[in-house]
Amino acid sequence: PDHYAARRRLFWLSAAYVLGCGFRSVLPLIDVPRLCLFDPWLSRVAIGRSVATLAELCFIAQWALLAHELGAAAGVGFMRLAARLLVPLIVIAEFFSWYAVLTRNNLAHLAENSLWTLSAMLLVAGFYAVRPHFDAAARRLLAVAAGCGAAYIIFMLVVDLPMYFLRWHGDAMLGLQQLSLLEGLHDVSRLCSVSHEWEKWREEIPWMTLYFTVGVWFSIALVHLPRFGARTPRPAS
């Protein structure tokens, strides 16, 4: 019953994340320049960013619950600490995201995605910390998860973070004015500008593709994970 209840929580969190990603993949937006592919009344940055915030908090909550389960089963204090840190880190990241969107300051997006990268680092380190405490099948699963997490970290460090830094630097060199928070709230409530130009979407396509496919598959896969039980009782560390 406890395993069923745990997976049911992951199921509902996954449902919210998948629905959010579905909405955002049908009506994609580039938040800071206020661009969209289509212009129904739902294509507003305020709506898209709100959906993204809820979905991303549900996604990180899935990982936090899994990390807590692994840390408790293995008796590894580092993983339990990581489980407690994940959601607060992403809550802070969402504040940075909203600040970036409202003010059009890409440096805040850099901070946001740095916190996502740090969260992934905590999880990967936690997977390796608990791995020796489980049987062979669980160790293989954790190794795959750690490898995927490492690939995500590399992508963020090589592609995503430099992209936002260069955007911020380019805006600074051009002397573009940032908006105040109130100006930004008014701006994100209006319809976006429709653009089908490849050049304007080119940099967004890699992360959007991974986000709305691989991210969704991982969220669904977490619901189907087997129950983790430590190979041998271990004292808490």
What is the per-residue pLDDT for 231? Answer: 61
The answer to whether the CB of 197 falls within 8 A of the CB of 35 is no
What's 191's DSSP letter? B
Coil/strand/helix, residue 35: strand
67, 86, 139, 150 from 131: Cα distances, Å: 12, 19, 5, 15
What is the per-residue pLDDT for 201? Answer: 94
Q: What are the strands of the beta sheet with 193-194, ordered from one edge?
A: 29-30, 35-36, 193-194
Token code pair at residue 52: 């993204």
Main-chain dihedrals φ then ψ at residue 235, nearest 5 degrees: -70, 150
What is the per-residue pLDDT for 18? Answer: 97
What is the per-residue pLDDT for 230? Answer: 62
Pick the closest to residue 94 from 61, 117, 116 (CA basis): 116
Stated pTM of the model: 0.91
Place of tokens 């600074």: 172
**Cα–Cα distance, 53 to 59 (Å, whole number):** 10
Residues of the chain short of pLDDT 70, as ranges, are 230-237
Cβ-proximal residues to 108 (8 Å cutoff; 6+ apart), any chain: 96, 97, 99, 100
CA 75 to chain CA mean position, Å? 27
191-236 confidence digits (pLDDT tens): 899 999 999 999 899 999 999 999 999 999 999 998 887 665 455 5
Q: Calculate helix-pair angle for 106-130, 45-74, nearest 10 degrees.
A: 20
What is the per-residue pLDDT for 178? Answer: 87
What is the per-residue pLDDT for 228? Answer: 80
Cβ-proximal residues to 137 (8 Å cutoff; 6+ apart), any chain: 226
What is the per-residue pLDDT for 233? Answer: 47
**Cα–Cα distance, 215 to 228 (Å, whole number):** 22
> Facing residues of 191 across strands?
44
What is the per-residue pLDDT for 166? Answer: 93
